[in-house]
Homo-oligomer: A and B are copies of this chain.
């Protein structure tokens, strides 16, 4: 393992465990058992190191889920994968990392592009799945799949932060979303007559 890689994974670990506060070249170098000056030799600035670490972490976890998403055949299956993903990522801390980077990115232009790229990577993967699953159902032409996928990603980030300060509340919120998802799954499975009625009502209501 090269020094560069040691620094990258130490950065990711630090973000997962200690968040953005307390993140410094010194603490990361210590975590990686590496000299502090090497941070700047390899990455130039702290911000660029965090950027690189985020990219790496996101690419890896998106790739991990690509196959799982590919097997999903319905909205309820997607929901189940989402729940599994959430449980797993709580352990790995990847969502927590994303949340920290997004929060830090609000004031840091370089980080903002990294955060936007990360969200794009996740949401494109989810959009592919959503579009495939909804193809031919009543919801296909009612919903903007890209926006829907982005909303799912954003909600995950928010849920992760919420769970961090109120675990019970976070769990309740997730359960409620799951029920809501099941509801949509039923709409998705409605027959042609019912879905025509639904579409008519939706258009009448203004969208």
In chain A, positions 93-112 with a C-beta closer than 8 Å to chain B are 96, 99-100, 102-108, 112
Are A173 and B161 in contact, CB atoms less than 8 angstroms apart?
no
| Chain A, range 104-138, C-beta contacts under 8 Å to B | 104-108, 112-113, 115-116, 119-120, 123
A121 to chain B, nearest CB (A): 12
Q: Which residue of B lies closest to A206 (CB)?
A: B182
Q: Is A19 an interface residue (CB 8 A)?
A: yes
As for how many copies of this chain the complex holds, the number is 2
Known: A148-B176, A148-B180. 20 other contacts (CB 8 A): A20-B21, A21-B104, A102-B164, A106-B164, A115-B166, A116-B166, A123-B169, A143-B180, A146-B176, A151-B177, A154-B159, A154-B161, A154-B170, A154-B173, A157-B157, A178-B207, A186-B201, A186-B202, A186-B205, A189-B201
13 A–B pairs (Cβ distance < 8 Å), ordered by A: A119-B162, A119-B169, A120-B169, A142-B183, A143-B179, A147-B173, A158-B159, A158-B161, A183-B202, A185-B205, A186-B201, A186-B205, A194-B194
